[in-house]
Amino acid sequence: MNGIRDQKKLESAQNVNRPTGIEKKRIKHKIRHGKRYTRRYEIWCGMKKRCYNSNCDRFKDYGGRGIKICEEWKDNFISFWKWSNVSGYKSNLTIDRINNDGNYSPQNCRWSDYQTQVMNSRNPPIKIEYQSQTKTIKEWSELTNISIRTIKTRIKSKWPIHRIFEPIKKQYRPDIYATHKF
């Protein structure tokens, strides 16, 4: 009888130090990596938010379309960190999915500058061909010194292509520019 009681006490003592399912989850979240306040951690959290938080305003474009994060990264920031180190991460780049319908994974992600990412989006910028050159509205704006807004307004107003990129002609209007005599 004493042997059974002692055996139960021993098992009970061993189980005291063994974490339960809830405690395991708490321990998992207490893992410290010292990278909480880094830009890459924010990027990783942003991916998770867009894919899994239905209250996120961008959820409809990510999780709502079935976009997920691979198992390797989903709950393992250090794995994401290591991938970013060997895949060309720089502070001026953003994470970009090569296939916009694919998940976040090492095989489908890269680090891209903003312009590359915009061109790879589901709604890439409109390209306009003029004088044998094809450029985005932004590129035409920079080349012609005509504002993006002006170019878009001219397109919406159905201007002929050759007039869209003509510089704005300032006309002298005496009623507006008249000087006052004091």
pLDDT category, 124, cuts 50, 70, 90? low
pTM above 0.75, yes or no: no
Phi, psi of 53, rounded to the nearest 5 degrees = -105, 105
Candidates 34, 33, 39; CA nearest to 91 is 39
Kindly report which listed range (11-15, 59-63, 84-88, 121-125) carries the lowest average pLDDT score: 11-15
Candidates 93, 42, 49; CA nearest to 67 is 49
Residues 6+ apart with CB under 8 A from 48: 69, 74
Q: Where are the domains of the chain?
A: 31-119, 125-182
CA dihedral (20, 21, 25, 31) in degrees, to 10, reads 40
pLDDT, one tens digit per residue, over 12-60 is 545 555 555 555 555 555 557 778 889 999 999 999 999 999 999 989 9
Residue appearing with tokens 């924010």: 42
> What whole-number distance in Å separates Cα of residue 23 and Cα of residue 41?
24
Residue scoring higher pLDDT (177 or 163): 163
